[in-house]
Chain A
């Protein structure tokens, strides 16, 4: 293997490498120059930077949770589960419906609705419903759209995944209507309410929804990490990811492991959907698509197939995306451009991601 690599890196590849380095250095110089301009102009005070960082951390933690879904599936099947963002959207809708239903149940003893009387139970119920619906959708998605295609050329499952994504998006649009809905949170989880932290003479609000989202994401990620790395079940998952045939010979039910992977990644997507709803407040049929794409970016950023990588990638992407437009002094509308540019750059220059091990060429 090493010999072929040595042969490959002859003249043209070297030129390519040099070109890459030059572009990268120019890019860094440009970044530094813009950063210097913005900071020296003093448009943004320290409070603004803290605000951006906080919102970046929160959104980044949601990206991490979604990114894990991509990474788990990619690690096992080497396919991009393009419909993962839509699974997240379904989870968000499930949570929304739970809140709406609980809102309409009056409790006589407190004189308020169930939602406001038992807030913790309501939130737990919403998360359970979101995770359940998303897990079920993930399970059936794999069973219907991916399982019959196992062993087909690689583009075929990807196209099937794109089809599933379009189907789910439009199914949601036709069923729930195209209008945007506002998540009706319990009373103590009102958006824009939270702890006030004084920074540099200004106040920065650390919202309760944001803290809930962040803490819950980290909790989920830690649980997942323990599940995959420390339990017997996780070991069989890793074995299947390594080599399906050998795993099957060792007595592991490969089909069941794959199904369960989709269930787990679906549940994580559903939880992310509910978090998205609670924190951002607005959901509609298209809500999963862009976060899904960005979470995929995060997974690639950290090295796809690598669980800690997805976590770090998600948080990094969130921070870069929220600090980027300010730091570069460009329009906030262009934050998606920053995210996608990162995706393109990472895939071009370091397809193994920042923490990922170097994948063999077949995998890339």
Chain B
């Protein structure tokens, strides 16, 4: 009995802390604005939409109340008390916090110097543009009322079971749709795959024509990340070698393209197409060179060494010592673009087509490798290196091959990236690039080609659409990585084999907390 209330209180406290951090991040303001714009709610503060803020707080309160309702949701009295406890705690927490911030602001403390999001207008916004006490009381009231409403909602769901009803309806609908003539005929046709690929191909051809300049550029960026993701997919997803210095190969590709085509600092100015091949080659060679010494390393040591390698490359291209050869912090300017039969191909649309062609070729190549002896060797290595070795797989050779192939794709991506921007510099080659590529691989699903594409669209395409949330992109990335690892380590569109493996792991989690059961050797 008391335990139940304790859990509710705890849940309230967690919600309170999280909401406080949302306020410190300034996310409440941004989200309130988005909500306010969607529903065109009224507002009486300068910094944001107060209607949206009330709406947001109400939603959060509802959720908190729902969560706090406890395990026994059929007992109305207990549900109400539980949600009331949690509501009061959140309300007190956030109310006191608002009051505190407002009071400090009233004492002429420049909060902005310490917490950038809490400037004067924002503080007044968090108090709904009203006096400090009134504003805090409104917040307290919202959480109290909606907390209890959330509890009632939980009770209602438990008693009437609308979720089961909806689920049933959904299943009926799905069944109907699947049994409808055309869909059934399609899914059972042996040519289904071919047709869908054909449709996709035609769409890819038409797509760039329909988009404007900005979207072609944005999609080009997504495409380059798809290319790099496909490359890292081979290294991490197939061969199981965690490479955190992947950006080094991207940089080598970009700098090869840049240095050999730009007039300065090395006045060579070779044409684009031979340089494209050279970039891929150089990156692959660098992959082998990095691979050679680190071959015998496993798991996280490899990750750290590659990370160190990436940082070395970045520091080197930034340094003044290498500036006469690499351009230093200013980077390389005036990188030549491609031309074909005398026609210059330097607009966004042409680049997008080139990137799409690059992706298609890469996918064909990856697919071929994956289903060949090489791919099987990689996957065997990923699962258990010692066993793979015992089976007669030359792990050193296949590891080098994985490194070289992955690096070659990154080199291609880098060369296209540099040519498209007509510029490349140290700022393009930070650790964040490696992390981004790794993220998209994990979000999409390691070892899965469609997963890479989905991941790139989610991580690079979505932020283009949600520009208001740009400030929080990396924050969300980080949280997403952790959350994905906990709830869906196989990614959004996993490779079938990997999903099976990871679910095996989940089953084993019931055993004692001993890490050595699965994959400890790897």
A binds B: yes
- B-side interface residues toward A, CB under 8 Å? 21, 24-26, 109, 114-117, 240, 242, 244, 293-294, 297-301, 303-305, 307-309, 311-312, 315-316, 318-321, 435, 438, 442, 471-472, 474-475, 477-482, 484-486, 489, 502, 505, 508-509, 511-522
Q: A221 to B242: give the CA distance in the assembly, Å.
A: 33
Known: A160-B486, A333-B318, A348-B294. A152 touches B518 (CB 8 A): yes
A175 within 8 Å of B (CB atoms): yes
A204 within 8 Å of B (CB atoms): no
Q: List 16 A-B contacts (CB under 8 A).
A: A156-B489, A159-B485, A164-B481, A166-B475, A167-B481, A174-B26, A174-B475, A175-B25, A176-B115, A244-B513, A248-B512, A334-B319, A336-B315, A340-B308, A340-B311, A344-B309
**Smallest CB separation, A137 vs chain B (Å):** 12
- Chain B minimum-CB-distance residue to A101: B114
Having A151-B508, A155-B522, A343-B304, one finds 14 other A-B pairs with CB under 8 Å, namely: A97-B114, A145-B482, A151-B518, A170-B475, A245-B514, A255-B513, A331-B320, A336-B312, A340-B309, A344-B309, A347-B304, A348-B297, A361-B521, A364-B298
Q: A175 to B389: give the CA distance in the assembly, Å.
A: 50
Contact B481 A162 (CB under 8 A): yes
Contact A334 B242 (CB under 8 A): no
Contact B299 A155 (CB under 8 A): yes
The prevalent SS among residues of A at the interface is helix
Q: A361 to B297: give the CA distance in the assembly, Å.
A: 10
- Chain A minimum-CB-distance residue to B116: A177
Q: A360 to B350: give the CA distance in the assembly, Å.
A: 54
**Smallest CB separation, A197 vs chain B (Å):** 32
- Chain B minimum-CB-distance residue to A16: B296
Within 8 A of B (CB), among A298-335: 300, 330-331, 333-334
**Smallest CB separation, A24 vs chain B (Å):** 12
Interface stretch (choices A74-82, A127-135, A207-215): A74-82
Residues from chain B with Cβ under 8 Å of A200 in the complex: none
Residues from chain B with Cβ under 8 Å of A97 in the complex: 114
Contact A254 B513 (CB under 8 A): yes
Q: A340 to B299: give the CA distance in the assembly, Å.
A: 18
Q: Choose one: A145, A158, A164, A177; the contact of B242 (CB below 8 Å).
A: A158
Contact A351 B301 (CB under 8 A): yes
Residues from chain A with Cβ under 8 Å of B482 in the complex: 144-145, 160, 163-164, 167
Residues from chain A with Cβ under 8 Å of B519 in the complex: 152-154
Contact B114 A151 (CB under 8 A): no
Residues from chain A with Cβ under 8 Å of B471 in the complex: 174
Contact A244 B514 (CB under 8 A): yes
Q: A265 to B351: give the CA distance in the assembly, Å.
A: 50
Contact A163 B481 (CB under 8 A): yes
Residues from chain B with Cβ under 8 Å of A80 in the complex: 300, 303-304
**Smallest CB separation, A255 vs chain B (Å):** 8
Residues from chain B with Cβ under 8 Å of A153 in the complex: 502, 505, 518-519, 522
Residues from chain A with Cβ under 8 Å of B515 in the complex: 77-78, 150-151, 154, 244
Residues from chain B with Cβ under 8 Å of A340 in the complex: 308-309, 311-312, 315
Residues from chain A with Cβ under 8 Å of B480 in the complex: 163
A148 within 8 Å of B (CB atoms): yes
**Smallest CB separation, A330 vs chain B (Å):** 7
Residues from chain B with Cβ under 8 Å of A79 in the complex: 300
Q: A149 to B475: give the CA distance in the assembly, Å.
A: 21
- Chain A minimum-CB-distance residue to B314: A336
Contact B305 A344 (CB under 8 A): yes
**Smallest CB separation, B502 vs chain A (Å):** 8
Residues from chain B with Cβ under 8 Å of A244 in the complex: 512-515
Known: A149-B486, A152-B505, A348-B293. A158 touches B311 (CB 8 A): no
Contact B512 A164 (CB under 8 A): no
- Chain B minimum-CB-distance residue to A342: B308
A293 within 8 Å of B (CB atoms): yes
- Chain B minimum-CB-distance residue to A160: B485
Contact A293 B307 (CB under 8 A): yes
Contact A165 B438 (CB under 8 A): no
Q: A344 to B305: give the CA distance in the assembly, Å.
A: 5
Contact A166 B114 (CB under 8 A): no
Contact B477 A176 (CB under 8 A): no
Q: A337 to B297: give the CA distance in the assembly, Å.
A: 21
Residues from chain A with Cβ under 8 Å of B442 in the complex: 159
Contact B308 A343 (CB under 8 A): yes
Residues from chain B with Cβ under 8 Å of A162 in the complex: 244, 435, 438, 481
Q: A43 to B117: give the CA distance in the assembly, Å.
A: 49
Contact A347 B505 (CB under 8 A): no
Q: A145 to B485: give the CA distance in the assembly, Å.
A: 9
**Smallest CB separation, B36 vs chain A (Å):** 21
Q: A237 to B93: give the CA distance in the assembly, Å.
A: 37
Contact A154 B300 (CB under 8 A): yes
Residues from chain B with Cβ under 8 Å of A170 in the complex: 472, 474-475, 477-478
Contact B299 A154 (CB under 8 A): yes
**Smallest CB separation, B232 vs chain A (Å):** 13
Which of B304, B320, B489, B520 has the largest count of A CB atoms less than 10 A from its CB?
B304
Residues from chain A with Cβ under 8 Å of B509 in the complex: 151-152
- Chain A minimum-CB-distance residue to B316: A337
Residues from chain A with Cβ under 8 Å of B303 in the complex: 80, 158
